[in-house]
Each structure stands twice: as structure tokens, then as C-alpha cells.
Amino acid sequence: MVEDPIQARKVLDASGYKGEAVTILYNTNEQNKAIAESIQTMWSNALGVNVDLTNQETKVFYDTREKGEYQVACANWIADFADPVNFLDVFTTKDNDAQYHKPEYNALVAAAHKEVDPLKRWAILHEAEKMLFDDYVIIPLYYTTQVLVVNPKFKGYFCSPMGTIDLIKAYKEK
């Protein structure tokens, strides 16, 4: 994605936005607060949008999100397995936190589950992801990373694509 405040303003205007404040909901955590404050500043500076922040204790926050009682809510997701469908499935369920209910999207994800040709499957998944972006359901902000520093004498370990480290066969070289 490319930052494009002019296009963002056009989309905002086309949405019927009339200058009212937008509220971002986030749960109690210093990192989440910093992210919400950064969004508040960026949207204000780039788009002229007045952004209010609402902080809730985590249990209340999840309940509010589940009920769909928010305008914009911060959320994160860590995949359970290394496949894009792990992220896309979240938006197909009847009671997803984003309150996103689009039969065309659900059909794409269902088709991806059935497709055996990897290239065709990848294209279907890409189309489903694009739909989430085009419908402004998600705004990815960052991806968590994990740094692994290993002594060159340490051998036999395995690090999965998910970041899990298996030390069962690990040993130190003499």
C-alpha cells in the first residue's frame, strides 16, 4: 500500500463523511495507546479528521468489539498456521468482530479452501484480501517480527515459519 492522502480524502468525501469526529476504540495497553494516538495525529494532519480516542479495559473492549459497537477498533491477529487463509477466514464467520457480511467474500474464501491448484488458490486468496481492502474492512498498520540471534556453534534447532523454535535436536558444536 502507498500513502495517498489525496485519494484518501476523495474516498472519505465519497463516503458521506461530514466532518464529524471519528472514534477509535482500543484496549488498555501502552502500545495500543501509542498506536491509536499515532493514527489520531496522522488522520488529523493528512485528512483534517477530528479523531477521539476511547480506551477500554480488555474484557470490556472485546465485548464492545464483538457487539460491533464502535466506529473504528484496533485489533490484532496472529496466525495459527502459515497460510493466508488463516487471516481471511476470520471475516467469513457470522459473528466476526468487523461485522463484515458479504456473500461474495465468503464464496471466495470457500473456493480457496477447495482449490487444489496452488496458483489458482493464491489468486483466489489475493482477490478475497483485495475485497477486504476495497471495502475498507481492515487497515494493516504493522506486522510483528521476531529476531533470533544464534551462536554459530548452536546446531540442530528448527525455526518454523510461525516463529516456533524446536530445540529437541539442538546441540552445541564443540
Rounded Cα distance, 114 and 53, in Å: 42
Mean pLDDT computed over 97-124: 96
Helix (H) or strand (E) holding 73: strand 72-73
Residue 12 sits at φ, ψ, to 5 deg, of -60, -45
Whether the per-residue pLDDT at 139 is higher than 90: the answer is no
Closest Cα to residue 37, out of 52, 58, 22? 52
Residue 163 has pLDDT above 90, yes or no: no
143, pLDDT greater than 90: no
Q: Residue 84 carries which DSSP code?
A: T
Q: What is the pLDDT of residue 160?
A: 84
Q: How far apart are CA 49 and CA 133, in angstroms?
A: 20
Residue 144 confidence class, pLDDT cut points 50, 70, 90: confident
Are the C-beta atoms of residues 171 and 150 closer than 8 Å to each other? no
Side by side, which strands form the sheet with 22-27?
51-56, 22-27, 72-73
What pLDDT band is residue 1 in, cutting at 50, 70 and 90? low
Mean pLDDT of 74-103: 89
Q: Is the pLDDT of residue 48 over 70?
A: yes
Domain edges within the chain: 1-76
Q: Which of 20-29, 39-48, 60-69, 144-153 has the lowest mean pLDDT?
A: 144-153
18 has a pLDDT exceeding 90 = no
For residue 147, pLDDT over 90 is answered with no
Q: What's the pLDDT band for 140 if we cut at 50, 70, 90?
A: confident
Prediction pTM value: 0.78
Indicate the class that CATH gives domain 1-76: alpha beta
